Amino acid sequence: MDESKLIPSIHNYCDRWCERCAFVERCAVGVEELERWKNDTPMTDEEMWNTVSEHFKESLRMLDEMLREAGIDPAGIKAGPDPIPDPDMERLEEEIFEKGMAYFKLTDSFFKANHDFLAAREAETLKMAELELPIDMEQLEHTHEAVEIIHQYSAFIGVKARRAVSGMEDMHDTEIWGDPPYQSDANGSAKACILCIERSLGAWEMVRKTWPEKTDEILDLLLALSRFRKELERLFPDWQMFVRPGFDTESEILPKNSLFTDHQ
């Protein structure tokens, strides 16, 4: 692995979709995932987060080395006393996570309740193919991609939103994040989350147009997701200003032919 080509911290603000990422070969986590694919042993969630943790520890070691080179003893830098937890912030973090999980459960319930309907639509398409009847392949492919996007992000949204809220207290601390203050981990996590919500909204709308008979059910999901997005935008008004490593700094190499724009 040529570490000089890796983009530092890119995995912190991605959508965890390595298979479709244009930067997979320039991400420390993605490179390890590629090796596993070669051996047909995809990384589990536990292994993924252990790997992220190891790269985080490595970044701390590099920081210590930089401080020593600058003549600063890392051990002499005091973090100060542990802050007293803010009960209101803890409650907000839990509420945001619960709302995210509520959306995940609604999504899961939708697909379970419509299992027979989806199976019938698939059988209908196969029958049309056998009879050599015309099939709108573009719409079919877009619908499949939309469903894939919905499944990919349904659980991720709540987890990423929780991470964003957990960092709100030091979001504007320039001693931690430097200047500009909006380049904080909380804003970065919020941006990754909101972009996934926007793609999910687009995906649900595509599904609604394809299956108009399911409009009432899908409108409930769209409403819940739209409200969640507005709440995050209220909590993180500067989320769009965060510059994601790779995705926002080298956007010219991102694919432009995806159904939903700004996809990693």
pLDDT of residue 144: 87
pLDDT score at 44: 57
State the pLDDT at residue 64. 62
Q: What pLDDT does residue 80 have?
A: 47
pLDDT of residue 61: 60
Alpha carbons 78 and 57: distance in angstroms, whole number = 18
pLDDT in tens, the chain (264 residues): 567 788 988 888 888 888 888 898 999 888 888 887 777 665 555 554 455 455 445 545 645 665 566 666 666 544 445 555 567 888 898 899 999 999 999 999 999 999 998 888 788 777 777 767 776 667 778 888 899 999 999 999 999 999 999 888 877 666 666 667 788 889 999 999 999 999 999 999 999 988 999 999 999 999 999 999 999 999 999 999 999 989 988 866 665 544 444 544
Does residue 263 contact residue 199 with C-beta atoms inside 8 Å?
Answer: yes
Which sign does the torsion angle of CA 237, 243, 247, 253 carry? positive
Q: CA-to-CA distance for 143 and 211, rounded, in angstroms?
A: 10
Please name the helix (run of DSSP H) or strand (run of DSSP E) that holds residue 236, with its range, or none.
none
Q: How far apart are CA 13 and CA 232, in angstroms?
A: 16
pTM of structure: 0.75
State the Cα–Cα distance between residues 207 and 121, nearest whole angstrom: 13
**CA separation for the pair 112, 114 (Å, rounded):** 5
Residue 28, CA atoms < 13 Å, CB-side half-sphere: 20
Q: How far is residue 28 CA from its own chain's centroid? A: 17
